[in-house]
Amino acid sequence: MKNYLSIQDINNLDQWVKEAMILKRDPLAYQELGKNRTIGLLFFNSSLRTRLSTHKAAINLGMDVMVMNIGKDGWILDFEDGSIMDQHSAEHVKEAAQVVAQYCDLIAVRAFASLENKANDEAELVLNGFKKYAGVPIVNMESSIHHPLQALADAITIQEHKKTDRPRVVLSWAPHPRPLPHAVANSFVEMMKKMDAEFVITHPEGYELNPDITAGCQLEYDQQKALAGADFVYVKNWSSYMDYGKVLHKDLDWMMTGNKMGQAQFMHCLPVRRNVVVEDAVLDGPQSLVHQQANNRTYAAQLVLKKILETIK
């Protein structure tokens, strides 16, 4: 595999989930594979899990790791073709990507949606800029549209914890004071389309995700109806897609509570705002899988890096 940009780069999901679970049992089995290989982790945005789990995955494979908070410490980059760079940006991605590629065999990039300009966000200027100019494999650590390492960890978590062959999985929107990107929800939706699940999306009107991504998915505006009989409840906030980047609804009536959960297992990618997105009792209770999900981030990343390393050897 050359790049891991979205879950469409997964050629056989069942096989990948099985392989990740095998890696999890013996994480140091491929220490030789990454020897003398360097990964660069470039962050244009904050991170806790993605940063540490991808770093740990690389260490488990014997790789060297360089991390840069490029959004904070790097030169401001320009991504437009033919730019006249007489404003804020000091360096073009054409140089930056090729320079990083002199030092790294593989580059992973985190660059969230701006939520200001839909066309620019959908063009994935940052991720595609690195892909176009670096000439080394690129891994997506959450871009404008996709968070495929998270979705792979979620698939592993569901596989490990499901009690029926075809679980009912509900993606339930939650309130949040700030406008958040669509990437986590998008990749989760794409993943559920590939998994054997009865999948339902629920959110207030106005929060419809990109229809190209949700095509064929069941949508239920009544949260209570959607949650009935759920085996897994995946909670996430996102801002409006139609009224791009706007917060339309802040009422806590969509917050996940123990009462709403029934017997379902609770999932969230984290970070999560307590008692806004979900009440304490759910996060602190036995139905929560959030730590298991975060743990599986390591093995999702490790599988992706392993597959890339196998092709560059």
Q: Which residue is nearest to ligand AN0 (CB)?
A: 180
Binding to ligand AN0 by CB under 6 A, coded x per residue (else -) over 31-50, reads: --------------------
Binding to ligand CP by CB under 6 A, coded x per residue (else -) over 118-157, reads: ------------------------x-------x-------
Of 101-109, 178-186, 204-212, 243-251: span binding ligand AN0 (CB under 6 A): 178-186
Residues from 222 through 281 that contact ligand CP (CB under 6 A): 269-271
Nearest approach in angstroms of CB 273 to ligand AN0 is: 8
- Give the residue, chosen from 3, 50, 144, 223, that forms a contact with ligand CP under the rule CB under 6 A: 50
Backbone angles phi, psi at 66, to 5 degrees: -120, 130
Q: Does 127 bind ligand AN0 (CB under 6 A)?
A: no
Q: Which string of DSSP letters, residue by residue, matches 113-173?
A: --SS-HHHHHTTHHHHHHHHHH-S-EEESS-SS--HHHHHHHHHHHHHH-SSSS-EEEEEE
- Give the residue, chosen from 6, 16, 42, 49, that forms a contact with ligand CP under the rule CB under 6 A: 49
**CA 17 distance to own-chain centroid:** 16
* Residues paired with residue 288 on neighbouring β-strands, in sequence order: 266
Q: Does 182 bind ligand CP (CB under 6 A)?
A: no
Q: Does 48 bind ligand CP (CB under 6 A)?
A: yes
3-state DSSP call for residue 255? coil
Q: Does 183 bind ligand AN0 (CB under 6 A)?
A: yes
Binding to ligand AN0 by CB under 6 A, coded x per residue (else -) over 244-283, reads: -------------------------x-x------------
The DSSP H or E segment spanning 12 is: none
Q: Does 211 bind ligand CP (CB under 6 A)?
A: no
Side-chain-facing half-sphere of 76: CA atoms under 13 Å: 6
Q: Does 47 bind ligand CP (CB under 6 A)?
A: yes
Maximum Cα interatomic distance, the chain, rounded to a whole number of Å: 59
* Residues 122 and 144 sit within 8 Å (Cβ to Cβ): yes
Eight-class DSSP state of 303: H
235 Cβ neighbours under 8 A, 6+ residues apart: 172, 173, 174, 256, 266, 267, 268, 272, 277, 278
Of 48-56, 60-68, 115-123, 299-307: span binding ligand CP (CB under 6 A): 48-56
Q: Which residues bind ligand AN0 (CB under 6 A)?
A: 180-181, 183-184, 269, 271
Q: Which residues bind ligand CP (CB under 6 A)?
A: 47-51, 142, 150, 269-271
